[in-house]
Amino acid sequence: MYTTFKTDRFLMFGWICWMMGAATAWGDDFLQFRGADGRNVIAGGKAPTEWSTDKNVAWKVKLPGRAVNGVIVVDGQVIATSSSGHLNDQLHVYSLDEQSGAIRWQRTIYSTGRAFCHPLSSMAAPTPASDGKAIYVLFSTNDLICLDLQGNLQWTRALGLDFPGAFDDRGLASSPIVVDGTLIIQVACQGDSFVLGVDAATGQDKWRKELPRSTAWTSPTPFHIDGRSLALIHSASNFQAIDPATGVSSWLVEARGAAIPSPAVHDRSVFLATAGLTRMDLDLTVSTPTKSWSAQKLSTGSASPIVANDKLFVIHGNNILTCGDIEAGEVLWQTRVKGSKIWATPLMVGDYIYIVNDAGLTQVVDVSGPEGLVVSENDLAEEMLGSPAYANGAIYLRGVTHVFKVAEGDQTRAAPSSGPTKESR
């Protein structure tokens, strides 16, 4: 059973082209958490390495309420979400013009699920997703909506009503992905835990698979092997690769996972945050992945690992950038960065890694040499928990109340006179 709402009474205001390389898909859009290919690596990209509140910040837009997720960029729009209200039950979606930051459209719905979370979090914890044709937004209330690129409601789901035992009062945070026309939703908690395949066009269930009843805030990861597209799921105690059309698992192995960081992929390998970091090599002709190594010294905190140029990068502990060799799992070097806590997965653009701490300080590390070198510290003085996005030479940072566009020497027009505000630089 599923519940679908298609009326406007919930509104207050009026297939991804996959690539095996490191660049993003669908032009230079950034279509979901960690980008279209789920790697957070822009191999051929270029972006500013220095900015401040009055330098290289093209625009800054204040949105109502609070958010702890990232934004996506699609069709010239930056899509951001937030939640507000005394009961935290007003759920917002905003389209900001990529060039100017002006509000193109906004939509608000009221929660149909439980709007409870830890004070650090928000109902806007999952990052939206897009296939270049529509926008899919999952809130921590388990409200799921689909909008077209003009902001028109296509369908909505009240997953909290369909699955009333699927909640976590600390706040759900897994971000959806779209794979071959199927929206993959992961809900892992102490109650009803599952991964759900939803038809992206209609909002109807294709399949549902149960997960262990244990909390995990990891997100599905897209993976491509031998001409097939799969969704990698790492829950509290197992790892599996799911066919998006059928829900059939190609692999299902025991692999106790960390609660927050999501899998990282490289060629035919996946790197899982376990007690340390574990590399598994995948082959569709065998039923069990091959475990290559497990390295305690490459363990990661809340941020997901990233892989590029045959190297691994993890935030070890709370503030140590650790580089490892993907073949042997050995530590190559470590660099300490500032911050008491880093929630956001780093973004790699070219030879630079952008590390955002919870106080809004982004440290840029040059990893082209034998050791990592911190080349700049860029403070926007706002709490930040969401991972940065990249599109067309610009970096997009989501603070808990503002969205920032960082671009070399960019300028914008004046702020609108009412509603959410935009500050030009």
The pLDDT of residue 419 is 53
Q: CB-based contacts of 230: which residues, under 8 Å, 6+ apart? A: 179, 222, 223, 224, 241, 242, 243, 244, 250
- What H or E segment, with its residue span, contains residue 161? helix 159-162
Rg (C-alpha) for the chain, rounded Å, is 20
Q: 101, 59 in Cβ contact below 8 A?
A: yes
Which domain does 213 fall in, by range?
Answer: 4-424
The pLDDT of residue 48 is 96
The arithmetic mean of pLDDT across residues 179-193, rounded, is 94
CATH code assigned at 276: 2.130.10.10
The arithmetic mean of pLDDT across residues 110-138, rounded, is 95
Higher pLDDT, 348 or 3: 348
The arithmetic mean of pLDDT across residues 69-81, rounded, is 98
The arithmetic mean of pLDDT across residues 17-36, rounded, is 64
150-172 pLDDT, tens digit each: 999 999 999 999 999 988 888 89
254-280 pLDDT, tens digit each: 888 788 999 999 999 999 999 899 999
Average pLDDT, the chain: 89
> Residues of 335-362 as b/e, b for ≥16 C-beta within 10 angstroms?
bebebeebbbbbbbbbebbbbbbbbbbb
User: Which two tokens mark 50?
Assistant: 């220095």
The arithmetic mean of pLDDT across residues 88-115, rounded, is 97
| Nearest to 270, CA basis, from 39, 56, 111 | 39
C-alpha separations of 90 from 117, 173, 322, 327, 348 in Å = 14, 17, 40, 47, 34
The pLDDT of residue 258 is 83
Q: CB-based contacts of 58: which residues, under 8 Å, 6+ apart? A: 101, 394, 405, 406, 407, 410, 411, 412, 425
Task: pLDDT band for 193, please (50, 70, 90 cuts).
Answer: very high
Distance CA 100, CA 123 (A): 27
Q: 142, 102 in Cβ contact below 8 A?
A: no
Could you tell me which residues are beta bridge partners of residue 265? 270
Task: pLDDT band for 43, please (50, 70, 90 cuts).
Answer: very high
Ranges 271-285, 317-331, 411-425: which has the least confidence: 411-425
Q: 365, 351 in Cβ contact below 8 A?
A: no
The arithmetic mean of pLDDT across residues 387-397, rounded, is 97
The pLDDT of residue 318 is 84
Distance CA 189, CA 166 (A): 7
Give the count of domains, the chain. Answer: 1
The arithmetic mean of pLDDT across residues 162-184, rounded, is 93
Task: pLDDT band for 251, please (50, 70, 90 cuts).
Answer: confident
The pLDDT of residue 416 is 44
